[in-house]
Structure 1
């Protein structure tokens, strides 16, 4: 082969390899963490799979806290990360991609706890350990870390009753907008809320908002049409994202001064509490949860016993007994914002009291 022909063959081969590498990168649709992607051997590789990017906490808090803790515990560990963007089929592909890359422990917050079962089983069959994060996925997971989710619902329900005060009677009509049934946590929140509310108020309208502010807003509009604006005493919203959509609908219907719950202590939710358009949220401190998951992941990677961490046992929807570590949630109202999210450094006073919220912060004694 002459020199000219060799150059042509080598150039074509290089182009082909570059296209193959680019195609592989696009197909996985995974985002590596700052430490870079794992090696093919995957001897010390940990993956984190989160369910969506709409809920503010995952990208802003859970991921960086998790990454930082893993790096502190295991400086030579490799980290892989992907977000399902609320697509359960995409998350299943992401599990498969991580297994192919050689990831040894996968920490996953399932977009759909039942749909992910076969993917988890496949990963475990290949020797991968799986930690269920925040949501108890079905299948043979090695550990689960979250908050006491029934307690979260109880706190939400009790906060609603506290806000209603003397108006909390068996005839008081309450609208209840729950989370997505595909998320096992949603059922636990609902269970806890009913435990607090049943018999004390009339849950006159109850629907799922699918964890989407737009869907929750639509459901609230339907509730107003069905019950009448003047007949609604309060609203249970399972998280702050949906509470935002509901608050807009209430404002549009000229309904004010009624309690509206939430969860996740999102900045927008805290600001609505300061402004008086939301009455409460539930603060589940993201840092200890993410750090607990990182500790479990590193211990499993290194073959350590996790019994001292996962001291409880829960049964998943697939009937699997799962060693679990459950943290304690906290109800947040205007009265304890300073002692919770500000004290923990989740937000600063400047974050909360920016722009239109400055005057309300002064009135609330926050600024």
Structure 2
């Protein structure tokens, strides 16, 4: 078994429980769908509405798989919109409703611990989705997040080519400190970049494009526009803000990384303003979470669904399923996001990017 210790910040907040309901049920301001709970009620709780993947891919895929495996299961859903306090309220609501299993991508993995404990004390099974939350969770599914960072770091070196020297100055914009995945991305990237380039400026962008843009502006002031040889962005949302700042500063040839294979990042890759992203196929992750949730609901073994062990920041060993990420650049767009039907050529190749698509062989 593989064992990995994941550390997180020690901010005390409560855990939110997902609430998904039947069609026609009322919704609260957080986007929560209210249902009646019941013996076959499964909840999905997602962390924010800024990252496009959650509403567009994760939730629909999860819902569809649950319904495929358990036609009479009731679905509860809520999105915390980036607020751990909101997520705490959502969890309390789910406990009250009698949800039996919750799949949660925590806003803050340490803060959620007490709420997970409260849920488990009521007999609720918890699946940590994408981010390993602290507390007595029953299972965890995500990608190999340290590997994600390694791929990001290597793709930046590859894009820099001969300019990747120990004196080459690189700007690093990491993810939200309270997200345990962000620490793993950072660790993986440093394991590849350290000693091969000079990390001249490193800050957190909090997974927010405007924050990342502010940090990039500060980096340009501190390091100098002409001295920056590459930029590591931990995800595509932040890369969008960074790319805007780079363009405004007249920096057009510096490679920029990302993660999540967002549509806008694919278009930036085609246009040459972003070098790469990391593709993490959402459907296998969402399907795997649904399979775990239904198995736990039905009291079945999850040994075949989660054969690895991960150790959370609270010291809990959790049966885990770690999926494999893929570097995505201009050369493999067709073999990844198009092949998997994440996007169509028409969606990618709008008028603005038609010429770039033609050059890349996407028609």
TM-score by length of 2: 0.92
3-state SS in 2 of match to 1:346: coil
Q: Does 1:82 align with 2:82?
A: no
The corresponding residue for 2:148 is 152
In the aligned structure 2, how far is the partner of 1:94 from the partner of 1:313? 28
What aligned pairs does 1:52-91 form with structure 2 within 5 A after superposition?
Answer: 52-91=48-87
Three-state SS of the structure 1 residue aligned to 2:250 is: coil
* Structure-2 residue corresponding to 1:358: 354
Partner SS for 1:32: coil
How far does residue 194 in structure 1 lie from its aligned partner after superposition?
Answer: 0.4
Q: Is the partner of 1:323 in helix, strand or coil?
A: strand
Q: Distance in 2 between matches of 1:44 and 1:187?
A: 35
C-alpha contact (below 8 Å) 1:113/1:136 kept by paired residues = yes
Paired residue for 1:198?
194
* SS of alignment partner, residue 245 of structure 2: helix
Tell me which residue corresponds to 1:170: 166
Kindly state the Cα deviation for residue 41 of structure 1 after the two structures are TM-superposed: 6.0
More helix by share: 1
Matches within 5 A, 1:39-118: 40=36, 42-118=38-114
Aligned-pair CA distance for 1:29: 11
* SS of 2:331 mapped into structure 1: helix
The equivalent of 1:4 in structure 2 is none
**Aligned partner of residue 254 in structure 1, secondary structure:** coil
Larger radius of gyration: 1
Encode CA deviations 1:250-273: one digit per residue, 9 max, x unaligned.
000000111100000000000000
Give me the whole-angstrom Cα distance separating, in 1, the residues matched to 2:35 and 2:362: 49
Taking the aligned partners of 2:359 and 2:146, their CA distance within structure 1 comes to 34
- Counterpart-to-counterpart distance in 2, 1:31 and 1:306: 23
SS in structure 1 at match of 2:257: coil
Q: 5+ residue gaps in structure 2?
A: 1-16, 26-32
Residue 31 (structure 1) shift: 6.0
Question: What is the distance in 2 between the residues matched to 1:152 and 1:346?
Answer: 19
Question: TM-score of the superposition, structure 1-length normalised?
Answer: 0.91
> 2:237: which partner in 1?
241
Structure 1 residue aligned with 2:136: 140
Distance 1:29 1:238, change over 3 A: closer
* 2:171–2:202 Cα contact (<8 Å) kept: yes
Asked if the contact 2:21/2:76 (under 8 Å) is kept, the reply is yes
Task: Measure, in 1, the Cα distance between the counterparts of 2:21 and 2:35.
Answer: 12
2:270 is the counterpart of 1:281:
no
Q: Aligned-pair distance for 1:32? A: 2.9
* C-alpha distance after superposition, 1:150-195 (max 9, x if no partner): 0000000000000011111000000000000100000000000001
* Corresponding residue number in structure 1 for 2:341: 345
Using the alignment, how far apart are the partners of 2:354 and 2:172 within structure 1?
31
Shift, 1:280, TM fit: 0.2
Where 1:335 maps in the other structure, the secondary structure is: coil
Confirm or deny: 8 A CA contact 2:19 2:34 kept in the other structure: no
Q: Is 1:328 matched with 2:295?
A: no
CA, structure 1 residues 41+168, in 2 after alignment: closer, same or farther (shift >3 Å)? closer
Q: Alignment partner of 1:278: what SS?
A: coil
| Corresponding residue to 2:301 among 299, 305, 316 | 305
CA contact (8 A) 1:38 1:102 kept: no
Q: Structure 1 regions of 5+ residues with no counterpart?
A: 1-27
How far apart, in 2, do the equivalents of 1:29 and 1:139 lie? Answer: 17
Root-mean-square deviation over aligned CA pairs:
1.5
Q: Closer, same or farther in 2 for the Cα pair 1:195/1:33, shift >3 Å?
A: farther
Q: Which has the higher contact order (CA 8 A, sep 6+)?
A: 2
Residue 355 of structure 1, CA deviation: 2.0
Equivalent of 1:32 in 21, 32, 52: 21
The aligned residue for residue 223 of structure 1 is 219
Whole-Å Cα distance in 1 between the matches of residues 351 and 226 of structure 2? 32
